[in-house]
Structure 1
Amino acid sequence: MECICCVSPTRRRLLGTMAALASGLTSGLPASAVTPAPGPAADIAGKVRSIDIHAHYYPESYCELVGTEGGKFGGKFTCGANSFSFQTPAGGLGPLPLKFIRIDERLADMDASGVDMQALSLSVPMAYWADRAFNAKLARTWNVAASGVHQRHPARFVVLATLPMLNPHDAIDELERAAELPGVRGVYMGTNINNRDLDDLLFEPVFARIEQLDLPVFLHPQQTVGGARLGDFYLSNLLGNPFDTAIAGSHLILGGVMDRHPRLRITLPHAGGALPILMGRIDAGWTVRPETRKLAQKPSSYLRRFSYDTVSHSGPVLDFLIQNIGIDRLLLGSDYCFDMGYEQPVTFLDRLALPLEQKNLILGGNAAQLLHI
């Protein structure tokens, strides 16, 4: 079978049109030709729908944009019969399996793993590179494509919109436009923006508008700490990702973002990274270090302001979060379909000795409330 991202743009558009006709996307075919619209969070039998809030997606249109117009900024996209790769000034990625792009293969994986719905999100290299105009075009292209997936399969996918964060005016413009797109239920953002931490005043108006729109924010590591010292043994991911999450969460707390925006809801990936387990040390610093005393309350009191996905690779870590933060703050995640994610995110919950009612909260109940599903 010919790779969808290896054919010419003209041929690709033709294939896309044919696929749309075959899938019943024209008005002349019955509604049963597409996935039906989502119902309530639980079906008639009381089964809670499983909602994966950490699932990455690379639309073909976004990939093509990186490889064409992005070339003058150092962007590159290559695709083979079974995989594809990115290279940008913000970092490279790949080879990755084509099921990141192909929705039919994604749906098959979801069915095999018991995931009823994914919240689609962009991942590395995100959209925070090149110039301002291209930054905005990358974000807009991804959001439109992801919304299109929701429209074709409204019971299976919702969208976490990406924003052109290099400029706050562009970010707010895209936020307001994307918030009107079908399926958009939140915002996806890097743990830093080109090495600017999230308490930088550049981002203050963006967080203010997100709060006004009552959209949850989901973070993901990018351009992580460590440099060359984490170059071996995949430590850039194994250690860099959880520590970058901890740094982002600390800046949001200690930098006053959570105080200035009391209704802002943020989800930390990878079970909060290193932040929850190090919070005792951060609290101790708050008692003795004047630079941390801008907060009205000790840092650990902010832990319940965040939600956390289940991508911990450790049952005891999730037990720690449940006992110290609360079952209502845990959300099912897979990190689809990276090698450091879960192939069976639902089965992983079996490591937790929980009553069915509590397990269902993690499986989908908490996410349904957060995402207004």
Structure 2
Amino acid sequence: MSFQSQALSRIDVHAHYYSARYVDLIESEGCNCGACVKRDPRGPIVDVGPLHAGPLRPHFFDLDLRIAAMDEQRVSAQFLSLTQPMVYWAEPSLARRLSAVFNDDLVTAHERYPNRLFGLAMLPVHHAGEALGEIERIAKAPGIRGVYMGTCIGDMELSDPSLFPVYEALEAASLPIFLHPLKVIGMEDRLKQFFLSNLLGNPFDTAVAAAHLIFGGVLDRFPKLDFVLPHAGGALPFLIGRLQHGWTVRPELAHMEKGPETYLGRFYYDTVAHSDDALAYLIQQVGPQRVLLGSDYCFDMGYERPVEVVEKQAQLSAAEQEAIFSTNAARLLNL
């Protein structure tokens, strides 16, 4: 479809969705892989080891409630994505079926609201053969414009060569990768209390994932593959100077021809910073052309008024503001 500025003037690229069929499949077949679904009056609760989701309230499932919330937020379109527990805990066949069920439900959501809802597909990337088959199946599916991936894949970092065939296929298909924290550092020990696994673990895990993509040569090896970092890049924009200094003095980074600072502009970033000053700093660091509107719908850690967050950035021109609202996403996601 062609991009129409009036129809898609506020594009939210960070919005979470669970499909009932995905949860049902975990409930019926996931127990052999350690998954458990509890039916709570407030909504289903999904647990897979340390990964926990729920109670998942109706807004995660009900498309009509979602559209009403989008109207209230002044959001024209959302890109729907899964979050934990994703599928990396499942054996290959089940992981592929969980991905396919969720991706098919993304297509259904798009077909119901073709100008409002689009999808970021789930892939069983811990089994490259299954992932490649799913990429081939969904690459041209209606409404699918990118894929979603954890900041780590089980115990595998994003620089692991076993992921390279997946990256190659996504680059060839022009499907950008949106990252999201999943099994974050310290979530089972030092960050277990006080919701620190989210408050601190999420932004630092994003920085770790980005560092692996930089230092592991992924961005150089796949120059046309785009990566989007959640939560305004997490800790990365604030620690890039430390990474840069490390590159100048540490033998572990001697293989790098260019310093980490040169890669900061290779990523896209959403606006979920939870600080006007932090968002302003991000925009200053990477430029408004690399920033995308996001809400983290519909978690309590998300924005209820994502558009207003950008409108408060008084330093932005009208064109720069519009780039963050829609133009950047339209270009990246082929709208």
User: Distance in 2 between the 1:122 and 1:116 partners?
Assistant: 20
Cα offset for 1:124? 0.5
Partner residue in 1 for 2:33: 73
Kept in 2, the 8 Å contact 1:41–1:368? The answer is no
Q: Take 1:319 and 1:41, find their aligned partners in 2: how far apart are those partners? A: 28
1:225 matched residue in structure 2: 185
Task: Report the Cα distance in structure 2 between the residues aligned to 1:293 and 1:41, rounded to whole angstroms.
Answer: 47
Q: 1:349 Cα deviation (Å)? A: 1.3
Partner of 1:211: 171
Whether 1:250 aligns to 2:211 is yes
Matched, 1:161 2:124: no
Q: Per-residue CA shift, 1:278-337, capped at 9, x if unaligned? A: 000000000011111222211110011000000000111111111111110000000110
Match of 2:290 in 1: 329
Name 2:3's counterpart in structure 1: 40
**Partner amino acid, structure 1, of 2:282:** L
1:112 matched to 2:72? The reply is yes
Which residue in the other structure is 1:15 paired with? none
Per-residue deviation, residues 98-128 of structure 1 (Å, max 9, x unmatched): 2101111111111110111000111000111
Equivalent residue letter for 2:243? I
* Correspondence for 1:9: none
Which runs of structure 2 are paired with 1:106-145 in the superposition (5 Å)?
106-145=66-105
Distance 2:203 2:102 in 1: 26
Partner of 1:234: 195
Distance 1:231 1:88 in 2: 16
- Of residues 227, 230, 238 in structure 2, which corresponds to 1:269? 230
**Aligned partner of 1:162: which letter?**
M
Residue matched to 1:364? 326
* Superposition deviation, residue 39 in structure 1: 6.1
State the distance in 2 between where 1:161 and 1:276 align: 27
Counterparts of residues 334-349 of structure 1 (less than 5 Å): 334-349=295-310
State the partner residue of 2:157. 197
The CA deviation at 1:130 is 2.2
Partner of 2:193, secondary structure, is coil
Of 179, 185, 188, 2:139 maps to 179
Describe the SS at the equivalent of 1:228: coil
TM-score, normalization by structure 1: 0.87
Over aligned residues, Cα RMSD in angstroms? 1.3
One-letter amino acid matched to 1:335: D
Give 1:48 deviation, angstroms: 6.0
For the 8 Å contact 1:48–1:365, the answer to whether it is kept is no
TM-score, structure 2 length as denominator? 0.97
Alpha-carbon distance between aligned partners in 2 of 1:130 and 1:48, rounded to the nearest angstrom = 36
SS of 2:98's equivalent? helix
Task: Assess if the C-alpha contact under 8 Å between 1:84 and 1:98 holds in 2.
Answer: no
Residue 312 (str. 1) matches residue 270 (str. 2): no
Alpha-carbon distance in 2 for matches of 1:231, 1:70:
24
Count of residues in correspondence between the two structures: 333
Contact 2:42 2:55 in 1 (8 A): no
Structure 2 residue identity aligned to 1:196: M
**One-letter amino acid of the counterpart of residue 302, structure 2:** G
Structure with greater Cα Rg: 1
Q: Any idea what SS the aligned residue of 1:83 has?
A: coil
Change (3 A) 1:157 1:48: closer
SS in 1 for 2:55: strand
Is the 2:107–2:143 Cα contact (8 Å) retained in structure 1?
Answer: yes
**In 2, distance between residues paired with 1:234 and 1:79?**
23
Moved more, 67-76 or 259-268: 67-76
Q: Which residue of 2 aligns with 1:151?
A: 111
- Mapped to 1, the partners of 2:189 and 2:50 lie a distance apart of 15
Amino acid at match of 1:40: F
Gaps of 5+ in 2: none
Q: Write the deviation string for residues 165-191 of structure 1: whole angstroms up to 9, x where unpaired.
A: 121111111111111211110011000
Unaligned runs of 5+ in 1: 1-37
